[in-house]
Amino acid sequence: MTTTEIRESLTEVAHAVPAPPIDRLAFERRVRAERRRRTASRGLAAVAAVAAVTVVGSVVHGSAPAPSTPVATAPTGRATDMGTAVTLVENRLTTLVPPQDGGYSDDHTRYEELLGTGPQGAVLVDDESGLVVRHLADDGSLGETTSLADGKPVQRAWVDATGRFVAWVDLGNTLHVRRIGGDTDLETVPLLSQQSQLAATDGTAWVEDEGDRLSYRTPDQSWGVRTQGDPLSARLAADVLAVATYDGTELWWVGDGDAPQPAAHFDGGGALAPDGSFVTPDGHGLAVVRQSSHRVFDTAVIVPLDADLTPVEMSWQDDDRFLVVATSQARTGNHVLLDCSVAARQCTERYDDPTGTLTLGSQDQLTVPDAG
């Protein structure tokens, strides 16, 4: 038989054999198990001992030698007020109000992942793989829970940097992009099996991880993004794509109908702000990188950080403030939460979590070799 005849025979046999029915419940169990495996590997699993969260409010000082990159000589902008910090502690949603208000809220409900926060509240994956938003009151107390994704379980989900848009891949391997609070998709895209890893979205465009490269996609166009290192995770905001790799973080310009262009590279991880700014550890503290001109990044401000602290997560709250979760050499095993202001050039320690499980969310962790 020729090669063609063999292929045709095998195809006829495949078509003649009925496919076994999908065990939906078993598939959902595998999805939940895989998500728990991923979160455990990121260090989010709870420890057995239960300890109280210590509320503190001390300013973290540090020395910041003159870096090699340009640094602003004066604080830029206005320092905004410290707001409510939304965290997971031992997989329980915990909102932490500013120190002057005192206390925190925790209703003991457990979640698999905290994806991010926005105007509607905290976006989470619950313990049944359901995508939900937990509404928050002005005083930080926990409110009602609203189901997203039409109340159906999801394989994976993402929130954009503004906290206004959510994307998820359902059990049928279809990508959905939707405004949080809306009931209709902005985009619905069936994914091929090798494209099932969505990496980022901003509500109008999205990035897919295709293994050896990323693809930046809009409803009408698609471009390949070939990073120097293997991509691990990504964030997309204000026409800036931040890609974490084993070699550091790469910033790319996207949008304007042009092919993505590399813009900057940093040795460490970092966090992308809704306005396209980027904060990254640089050895002198926390370097806040902003555009100095069109498509040019410069270091705008160095926020000092004690040498005792090593950032492992960072998340922007607005254009001025960002939260940092750090480990401490002196307080081994603890997670220390810092609230940092670019304009004030300082970080204030807000919480000391002795369980070492406090996290800002699965999308805020610094995926670089020396982050932990």
- Distance between CA atoms of residues 193 and 175, nearest Å: 12
pLDDT of residue 44: 29
Backbone angles phi, psi at 303, to 5 degrees: -95, 115
| 31-75 pLDDT tens trace | 455 544 444 443 323 222 223 333 344 344 333 333 333 333 333
- Residue 194 phi/psi, 5-degree rounding, is -80, -5
* Domain layout of the chain by residue ranges: 43-353
Residue 297 pLDDT > 90, yes or no? no
Q: What average pLDDT is seen over the chain?
A: 77
pLDDT at res. 256: 75
Tokens of 335: 């997670």
- Report which DSSP code applies to 365: B
Q: Please, which pLDDT band fits residue 282 given cuts at 50, 70 and 90?
A: confident
What DSSP designation does 294 have? T
pLDDT exceeds cutoff 90 at 16: no
Q: Would you state the structure tokens that stand for residue 67, as one six-digit string? A: 């870096």
**pTM of the predicted protein model:** 0.76
Q: How far apart are CA 291 and CA 66, in angstroms?
A: 20
pLDDT at 78: 66
162-198 pLDDT tens trace: 899 999 999 988 999 999 999 999 999 888 765 557 7
- The contacts found for 100-104 with CB under 8 angstroms, 24 or more apart, are 100/57, 101/139, 101/140, 102/55, 103/55, 104/53, 104/55, 104/140
Over residues 320-342, the mean pLDDT reads 93
Q: Please tell me the CATH code under which domain 43-353 is placed.
A: 2.130.10
Give Cα 302 distance to the centre of its chain.
23
Q: Phi/psi of residue 307, each to 5°?
A: -65, -20
Q: Encode pLDDT of 87-123 as tens digits.
A: 999 999 999 887 665 667 777 889 999 999 999 999 9
CA distance 194 to 180: 27
DSSP-based three-state secondary structure for 340: strand
User: What is the reported pLDDT for 235?
Assistant: 92
**Per-residue model confidence (pLDDT) at position 189:** 87
**Which tokens in the block code for residue 252?**
């790319």
